[in-house]
A and B are shown apart, each in its own frame.
Chain A
Amino acid sequence: MVILLVTEERRGRLKRSAAELVTAARELGGDAVGLVLGADPGAAAEELAAYLPRVTALRGAFATAEAVAAAAADAARDLGADVVLFAADKLGLSASPRAAVRLGGALLDDVTAVSREGGAVRAKRFSYLSRVTETVEALASPVVVSVKTNALAPAGHAGARGTVEVREAPAPADPRKRVGERTAAQGARLPLEEARVVVAGGRGLGSAERFAAVVEPLAEALGAAVGATRAVVDAGWRPYAEQVGQTGKTVAPELYVALGISGAVQHLSGMNRAKVIVAVNKDADAPIFKVADYGIVGDVASVGPALLEAVKETTAG
């Protein structure tokens, strides 16, 4: 089995998800080849060579899903790849379906595990707003897989370093799609999807000021990213980039602290994979308590600051 692992350089470095894709490749078994795309992919390719025997870096403009999909499909064809792996971040989720169509293959998207059953590639993924786990099997080849970020443990380095070949990307960017200005996510100190701890707030906080006063210091103390519910984002208290849920981001941190969040199913679908969930809400019947490991019934205005003090004491000791 030949596996092509597709990733991009981000600010000159290898994306963190690349090591998770290596885990997926090892799970499937076979010969894995790395493809690193970017304007300056050399250093990232060197990083990837610590995991894989062979890495190709393509230097070019890969700002669009179209360009990434085309390069990945060309490389997959050249290699005769059976499996093509992408990270299921926004770019990967956007490029991988196009690559699957270009290759006439199957797409297993946003998966949390991959395996091989006989000759077939199988994967686990969520459906119905993350309420259902399903096992899917590819019926066509090659199989394009996008792997949810944070779902698999990052792989360790291989015993021997792989070779790196840097090449110029052949095709210029498609003039039908032109990328303009890119603004970094507002208030995203730590990318939500990559955070080990998330402190999130809901309507129960009452105002944008209270949200900032209660959620931010606790997030700071825990080294956490800030998350918000849709109601909070709709009310304009927090930027969309912080929204967790069906129409926002999916997170799977070690710890999720839900402050003043009632627990609508749309929100749960974005955070119910957290390892440990703490919920604070003044309504004892709030659905959030059904998914919580530790719950406190109380007003976030007083419990929030108390939690901040307690965390400071505990982590200092």
Chain B
Amino acid sequence: MKVLTVVRQVPDAEARVRAEGGRVDLTGVTFVMDGMDEYGVEEAIRLREAGHDLEIVAVAVGPARFADALRTALALGADRAVHVVTDEQLDPVTLAGVVAQVAREEGAELVLTGGKQADWDSSALGPALAEHLGWPHADWTTRLELAGGELRLRHDVDDGVEELTVTLPAVVTTQQGLNEPRYPTLPNIMKAKRKELATRDLAALGAPAPRVRVVSQEIQVRPRLNRMIDGEPEEAAREVARLLRTEAKVI
């Protein structure tokens, strides 16, 4: 069975993000594989380690730097990688259409991806991909078992946690709690260099028309009072309570 794991290369969470002229400027920023996608790669590897016969294909759609995320996925244990190279900013629904095309060509039966991407702050990729493919999906997954062509999962819903059974083929989005991703070892990093990383041209996949345009981006600044209250705990606490009551009017 073929498993696709979709990865993105995003700014490190600690990186300073700037905006210039209404656009985010990522010059000089350190990029890493999206932490949410790491859970997906890890889960695919664990399914194989649990005895399932899988080929794991890491897929990325994005600019040249996304190749680093694919190399990381290969070093972790993916068998090969496909990089659809584009500098175009595609919205999640459009991008999901591109990934769906790759999934169809590969004959994949399971696609794993992060629950929410750390660059565009969207959780739409997984559900949109599933709809493009006409498959069911499970999002915000915290436990996954594969048996007899079915996935048994646990995932978060609005008022708690739900058990799900989903028939393959399916899309699963991952999150914290699903597993603890491993680190690539040096020998595996070396081995990854010899694994196949194929590049594809976006145009050859049908060059989709974007459905959303980013008009402007700015750094979110919310003015804060930054007022430090000194004194003994009782005194400082009483002053804060007073300010919350009389100044901020929130209690």
Q: What is A's interface to B at a CB cutoff of 8 Å?
A: 10, 64-66, 69, 89-91, 93-98, 100-102, 105-110, 122, 125-140, 174-186, 188, 191, 197, 222, 230, 240-241, 243, 246-248, 254-255, 264-266, 272-273, 275-278, 284, 289-299, 302-303, 306-307, 309-311, 313-315
* Contacting pair B127 A98 (CB below 8 A): yes
Cβ of B131 within 8 Å of any chain A Cβ, yes or no, is: yes
The proximity string for B residues 102-143 relative to A, scoring 1 for CB distances below 8 Å and 0 otherwise, is: 000000000000011011111111111011100111111010
* Contacting pair B164 A309 (CB below 8 A): no
* Contacting pair B238 A276 (CB below 8 A): no
8 contacts between A and B (CB under 8 A): A96-B127, A101-B96, A107-B124, A127-B217, A128-B119, A135-B216, A135-B217, A306-B238
Q: Which of A94, A122, A127, A248 contacts B119 (CB 8 A)?
A: A127
Dominant SS among interface residues on chain B: mixed
Given contacts A90-B157, A181-B163, contact A314 B242 (CB under 8 A): yes
* Distance (whole angstroms) from the CB of A236 to the closest CB of chain B: 11
In the complex, which range does the number of interface residues on chain B fall in?
35 or more
Q: Which of B139, B160, B226, B233 contacts A188 (CB 8 A)?
A: B160
Interface residues of B in 208-246 (CB under 8 A from A): 209-220, 222, 224-230, 233-234, 236-238, 240-245
* Distance (whole angstroms) from the CB of A91 to the closest CB of chain B: 6
* Contacting pair A110 B128 (CB below 8 A): no
The chain A residue with its CB closest to the CB of B29 is A128
A102 to B97, CA, bound (A): 12
Q: What is B's interface to A at a CB cutoff of 8 Å?
A: 11, 13-14, 17, 19, 24, 35-36, 91-93, 96-97, 115-116, 118-128, 130-132, 135-140, 142, 156-167, 170, 175-177, 209-220, 222, 224-230, 233-234, 236-238, 240-245, 248, 250-251
Total A-B pairs, Cβ < 8 A: 287
* Contacting pair B216 A177 (CB below 8 A): no
* Contacting pair A125 B121 (CB below 8 A): yes
A294 to B213, CA, bound (A): 39
Given A134-B218, A138-B211, A177-B164, list of 15 further CB < 8 A pairs?
A90-B140, A93-B123, A107-B91, A109-B123, A133-B219, A180-B164, A182-B163, A186-B160, A247-B36, A276-B244, A290-B224, A296-B236, A307-B237, A307-B241, A309-B237
A5 to B13, CA, bound (A): 35
The chain B residue with its CB closest to the CB of A293 is B225
Residues of B within 8 A of A129 (CB): 13, 118, 121
Given contacts A138-B211, A310-B238, contact A109 B124 (CB under 8 A): yes
Q: Which of A132, A180, A302 contacts B24 (CB 8 A)?
A: A132
Q: Which of B120, B165, B167, B224 contacts A291 (CB 8 A)?
A: B224
